[in-house]
Amino acid sequence: MPGSSARDITPAPSTDEDANDDLGLVLAKKRTTAAYLEDLSTKIMENMTTGDGILEYLSEDFEVVHEVERNTRPTHFQTNSSNLQQHLETMRALKKRWPNWVTKVNDASASLVKGSNTADVWCFSEGVGTPDNQWFIREYVTVLNWRRSTADGSWSCYRIRGIGSGGDLF
């Protein structure tokens, strides 16, 4: 991150026996890299409106791309973001308009090949806490694209792709 020197360089677990991280999540058993990335993706999605604890996992070239921008209905906010700062500003605007709005991840599923330096995590989420009379996607699918650093083995999310749902974003 520009201006950020604190980055978690703890390598992602590569086996069930190597599953240490500092996410503060209590799990009953050790985890795979897939489970590690699913947990990180859930944390990113659920904390995107605040940025709390997620910035260290987002790459400098991070972007957000939403398929729902193809809809013909007008939107209140531009949700495609050319960079992380722009996306966080959009999230703050959403939170200002709907203070009770949060994203809840109902399911996350990682797709990766053993030994690969890239992975995708598919999240099924819902936006909750908005008035019922608002145009707002209640459920949506998002793909978080990840890559592993060859230098230190850390994972960073470089893209969030919003697939959308049957409704409009707003």
pLDDT tens digit string along 18-53? 444 445 444 434 578 999 999 999 999 988 877 778
Strands lying side by side in the sheet with 58-66: 58-66, 155-164, 139-148, 118-128, 102-112
Mean pLDDT of the chain: 75
Pairing of strands 155-164, 58-66: parallel
For residue 55, the tally of other CB atoms under 10 A from its CB is 16
Surface-to-core class of residue 82, CB atoms within 10 Å of its CB (0-12 exposed, 13-18 middle, 19+ buried): exposed
Domain ranges of the chain: 33-164
CA distance 52 to 36: 18
Residue 156, pLDDT > 50, answer yes
Q: Which amino acid is at 51?
A: G
At the topology level, CATH places domain 33-164 in: Nuclear Transport Factor 2; Chain: A, (3.10.450)
pLDDT tens digit string along 109-134? 999 988 899 999 999 988 888 776 66
Residue 4, pLDDT > 50, answer no
Residue 85: per-residue pLDDT: 82
Residue 131: per-residue pLDDT: 73
Residue 17 or residue 48, greater confidence: 48
Residue 145, pLDDT > 80, answer yes
Which whole number is the average pLDDT over 102-114?
A: 92
